[in-house]
Amino acid sequence: MKLWRLIVFCAGWVAALAVLPAQAEIPVTPGSGEFFRDCPDCPEMVVVPSGTFTMGSPENETDRLDYEGPQHVVTFGEPFAVGRFAVTFAEWDACVSDRGCGGYRPNDHGWGRGNRPVINVNWDDAKTYVQWLSKKTRKRYRLLSEAEREYVARAGTETTFWWGPAITPENANYDGSYVYAGGGERGVYRRKTVPVDSFKPNPWGLYQVHGNVWEWIEDCRHLTYNSAPNDGSAWVEGDCSSHVLRGGSWADDPIDLRAAYRVSNYPMGRFNNYGFRVARAITP
C-alpha cells in the first residue's frame, strides 16, 4: 500500500448506442452489457440487474483487512444504470463548456484528455458534475453508493477480482512492479492513466472497475459494516468528514484493486489518481 494516502480505513457489449429523448424508456436489457446515453455529451450507461450479493471480503481472502467486514447480504430491489466507464475528460470538459462544474478544468499532467478518466477532481467536484448532468437530462444522476460500487464490480462473481483470484498488468492498470500474494505476476508499471476503454469489460459491460483511477462514492467513512444498510443505499450517517473511494488506481499495489478493498479521504482532496463514475435510477 502507498504511503501517500491520507486516510486508509483502521459480457460483453454491443456497438449500437442509443441516445434517449427525455421521456424515453431505456431500451436495454439489465446485465446484457448493452448501453445508452441521455445526450450526446453524457456518459455511456449500462443497466445492471436487481439481485442479492454478499458484500465484503471473506476471512480467508489474501490480504483481507478487518474494515472489509463483517460480510453481509445486500439486496437491490430494482435494476439501475451505471456509467460504463469512469467519467472522462471529454465529458467533464463538456460540463465546463456548458458553464457547469464551477468552470474548473483539472490538470491532465500531459497524459491526454479525451477518453482518459478525468483526474484531480475531489468529492465536491464530482457532486457538481452529477448536479449539472441531472439538470441537463432531467434524470436523477448521482454518485454510486458503496454497496452499488462493489455489486457492479463483482458483476455476479465472488472472486477477489471479477475475472478470478489472481491479477497481472494485463488485467488492469496498477503498479505492476508489485505481485499480489493471492496470485499473479509482476509486469509493467505504466505510471499514468490509460483510456477508459482499455482492458476487457466485466460480465455486465463495465470497464476498469479495478484500477486506473479511484472512484469517489457517496457514502461517508465507516470503519466496519456493522449496522450498514442492506438495501444498497448510501450510508450517509456517521463521520461524513470523509467519503469512500473504491477500485484502486494506476499508482497502487494490486491488493488495493480487490473488489472488497475500501479507502476514504477528505472531500476536498484532488489527486492525479482520483476520478468517479455515475449512476442513475431507471424508474421515474
List all residues 6 or more positions away from 193 whose beta carbon is below 8 Å from its beta carbon. Answer: 111, 116, 117, 119, 173, 212, 213, 250, 273
Measured distance CA(19)–CA(196) in Å, rounded: 20
Average pLDDT over residues 152-170: 98
Measured distance CA(269)–CA(4) in Å, rounded: 12
The answer, yes or no, to whether residue 109 has pLDDT greater than 70, is yes
Domain boundaries, the chain: 17-281
Fold observed for domain 17-281: paralog of FGE (formylglycine-generating enzyme) (3.90.1580)
For residue range 62-85, list pLDDT tens digits in order: 999 999 999 999 999 999 999 999
**Residue 8 pLDDT:** 38
Give the whole-number percent of the chain exceeding pLDDT 70: 90
The answer, yes or no, to whether residue 1 has pLDDT greater than 60, is no
**Residue 3 pLDDT:** 38
| DSSP-derived 3-state class of residue 37 | strand
pLDDT band at 20 (very low <50, low <70, confident <90, very high): low
**Residue 239 pLDDT:** 86
Measured distance CA(240)–CA(234) in Å, rounded: 12
**Residue 9 pLDDT:** 40
For residue range 163-218, list pLDDT tens digits in order: 999 999 999 999 999 999 999 999 999 999 999 999 999 999 999 999 999 999 99
Around Cβ 3, how many Cβ atoms within 10 Å? 4
**Residue 25 pLDDT:** 63
Average pLDDT over residues 226-245: 96
Measured distance CA(210)–CA(43) in Å, rounded: 19
